[in-house]
Amino acid sequence: AFQRAKRINGIEISQIVQISETAAQMRSNGTDVIALSTGAPDFPTPDFVIQAAHNAALAGQTGYTATAGTNELRDEIARQNNASRDQVIVSTGAKQVLANAMLATLDEGDEAIIPTPYWTSYSDIVAMAGGKAITVPCPMAQGFKITPASLEEAITHKTRWLMLNSPSNPSGAIYTKTEIRALAAVLQNHPHVWVLADEIYEHLSYAPFVSFAAAAPELANRTLIVNGVSKAWAMTGWRIGWGVGPAPLIRAMTAVQGQVTSGACSISQAAALAALTGDRQLLTDRLQDFDTRRKLVVAGLNAMTGITCPEPDGAFYVFPNIEEMMAKGGFKSCSDACNWLLEKAHIAIVPGSAFGLAGHARISFAYSQSDLNNGLSRIADALKKLR
Ligand code: PLP
């Protein structure tokens, strides 16, 4: 019989993907489902980016590139991050940057500290690499952010990484410069701990964003910045992300990547270069659109009894508390509540437990205003049926 490797024991297709696929299945069976479950912008990739890809393909840029990425793209990323080429790796999405980093650094039992709620993949990637995810609860009352005291408490001699995500998926939390400096002060006393700062939602900030690298330059020799074009440029399918960090780390990650994908898609790299060097007015316009949707969703949810929704500072998710709704409906878990919403109200959202924090749900607002309005009224109508 088929047997899994121990390495992937307990690792399943992500709950976010499962819910979205169930919703798609229901839709293909004729049910009118509204899915507010995925983290992909509904905008198209900018035309000038698609044009650059087309030009690259016609110009014959169709072979393997250097494993760590084309010189042109790495140099541009380096330039925008005050780094040098050997401090940059381009990968098949930001996700592969994370996987490369963990595979390149974690030995069996090594620990990665993950402020919770966290993007589902963090813990699975750490586990797959043989490491141990140390999840640190960061409740709504502390803005879903890790405090210096809880960081200090979580560090052991086995800690290899602190995995920070600002702006955060799912909470939208952004760490201020002061908050980063306070965390950096803790890390100063623990030179064996490295920082992975996932800043993929950088350009989706409604409050001031500061990069970890800019706020804590004294930790540059143990900081890996992760970013990419997927979210801001609406390029999730092109699969381009990058890491910027110390050259020896980048070299180790490149060795891993060389045996997994050989490198990112040549045409997508040309497209990403066009995105990075192109006009950014589009980003500003889209941010405004997202901001309008953010306000609409926060106001809509807070108008409902049973749901408390803080305003996110970044990304395109809200992460409301739904415990009152759960109590009213007698739901044992937020997952039961979300399943009920999907079955009875035909609205797909993701339970907070998928992000390590029960009692919440994640709603993506990377959807059209009409989908959002319809989705909100479905939730409101469903809630009225509870008592
Ligand atoms: N990091 C975070 C926090 C994300 O939410 C996502 C996508 O959902 C990624 C990384 C992955 O990005 P990519 O599609 O470039 O692999």
| pLDDT digit string, tens, across residues 183-242 | 999 999 999 999 999 999 999 999 999 999 999 999 999 999 999 999 999 999 999 999
Q: Which of 45, 119, 364 to mutate to test the pocket of ligand 1 (most atoms within 8 A of CB)?
A: 119
Strand pairing of 159-165 and 111-116?
parallel
More confident residue, 386 or 88: 88
Q: For the chain, what is the mean pLDDT?
A: 96
Report domain 6-44+281-384's class.
alpha beta
Residue for token digits 């813990």?
123
Annotate 248-260 with DSSP letters as a single string: HHHHHHHHHHHHH
CATH entry, 63-277, from 3.40.50.300, 1.10.3720.10, 3.40.640.10, 2.40.50.140:
3.40.640.10
For 373-387, what is the mean pLDDT? 93
Beta-carbon contacts of 259 under 8 Å, excluding residues fewer than 6 positions away, are none
DSSP 110: -
Ligand 1 centre distance from Cα of residue 267 (Å): 20
Residue 386: predicted pLDDT: 86
Ligand 1 centre distance from Cα of residue 40 (Å): 9
Quick check: 100 and 89 in contact, CB under 8 A?
A: yes
Ligand 1 centre distance from Cα of residue 200 (Å): 7
- d(Cα 49, Cα 233) in Å, to the nearest integer? 9
For 287-319, how does the pLDDT look when each residue is reduced to its tens digit (9 = 90+)? Answer: 999 999 999 999 999 999 999 999 999 999 999
**Which amino acid residue places its CA nearest to atom 8 of ligand 1?**
39
Task: Enumerate the domain spans of the chain.
Answer: 6-44+281-384, 63-277
Residue 387 has pLDDT above 80, yes or no: no
Residue 17 has pLDDT above 90, yes or no: no
Instruction: Report residues whose beta carbon is within 6 angstroms of any ligand 1 atom.
Output: 39, 93-95, 119, 165, 169, 198, 200, 228, 230, 236, 241
The terminus-to-terminus CA distance of the chain in angstroms comes to 49
Quick check: 334 and 319 in contact, CB under 8 A?
A: no
6-44+281-384 and 63-277: same fold?
Answer: no
Residue 180: predicted pLDDT: 98
The pTM of this model reads: 0.97
For 228-263, how does the pLDDT look when each residue is reduced to its tens digit (9 = 90+)? Answer: 999 999 999 999 999 999 999 999 999 999 999 999
DSSP 280: -
Quick check: 130 and 102 in contact, CB under 8 A?
A: no
Confidence grade of residue 39 (pLDDT, cut at 50, 70, 90):
confident
For 102-118, how does the pLDDT look when each residue is reduced to its tens digit (9 = 90+)? Answer: 999 999 999 999 999 99
Q: Of 185, 163, 70, which Cα lies nearest the Cα of 119? A: 163
Residue 255: predicted pLDDT: 98
